[in-house]
Amino acid sequence: MSGRYNGSYMRAYKILPVREINAASLSSGAKKRLWWLDWYHSHGQNAEATCRYFGISKSVFYRWRNRYNPKHIRSLEDDKRTRRPHRLRVMTTSPRVIKRIYDIRKNDPEKSKWEIHEERKRQGVFVAYNVIQKAINRHPHPPRHAILSEELENISHSPSWPSILAMGVNISCIFTRS
């Protein structure tokens, strides 16, 4: 029954009081990193042995050891902002070309990147397929309600079936194949 207390496992940290750790309400990842550092301090501050024991790389261990602040235990939490690259790629395609791709897609949202490529080629402007696809991904389609309102407008101006029948149009000629 060694290491068990009242049917559950107890973890006694040597670098910080358990009360302080529980009060911080750390995530499971932060508790795991705290365990690494606790093991490191209780075994003669041997980083290589700690990395071998936990199966982690030295670079990961040293990163967390350097981040750790005993006065601020939440420093072991994983901060998503620190993973963001310093320089993000920016699309280098000219805004005129992208606007033209948007306009083509606005007029015909079903056009593929290959059709847009051919249309732009006929106009004398070469735009690669991947550039067109990136522009489509950034601005996928016009709002669906705009397309529906245009379709409804067209339908309201077209004659309805009862009015066609009232005009005396022979329907059989419409449905026959030529």
Residue 22 pLDDT > 50, yes or no? yes
**CB within 8 Å of 5: residues ≥ 6 apart:** none
* Maximum Cα–Cα distance across the chain: 100
Structure tokens at 90: 């920016």
Q: Say what the pLDDT of residue 146 is.
A: 52
Degrees, nearest 5: CA angle 95-101-103 = 100
Structure tokens at 84: 């963001």
Structure tokens at 122: 């006929």
**Other residues' Cβ atoms within 10 Å of the Cβ of residue 131:** 19
- The percentage of residues in the chain with a pLDDT greater than 70, rounded to a whole number, is 64
Q: Say what the pLDDT of residue 46 is.
A: 92
How large is the average pLDDT for residues 63-72? 88
How large is the average pLDDT for residues 110-116? 88
Q: Decide: pTM greater than 0.85.
A: no
Which range (2-6, 29-33, 71-75, 110-114) has the least confidence?
Answer: 2-6
How large is the average pLDDT for residues 89-99? 84
At 50, the pLDDT band (50, 70, 90 cuts) reads very high
The backbone torsions φ and ψ at residue 68, rounded to the nearest 5 degrees and listed phi first, read: -65, 130
Judge contact between 3 and 52, C-beta under 8 A: no
Judge contact between 135 and 92, C-beta under 8 A: no
Q: Say what the pLDDT of residue 71 is.
A: 84
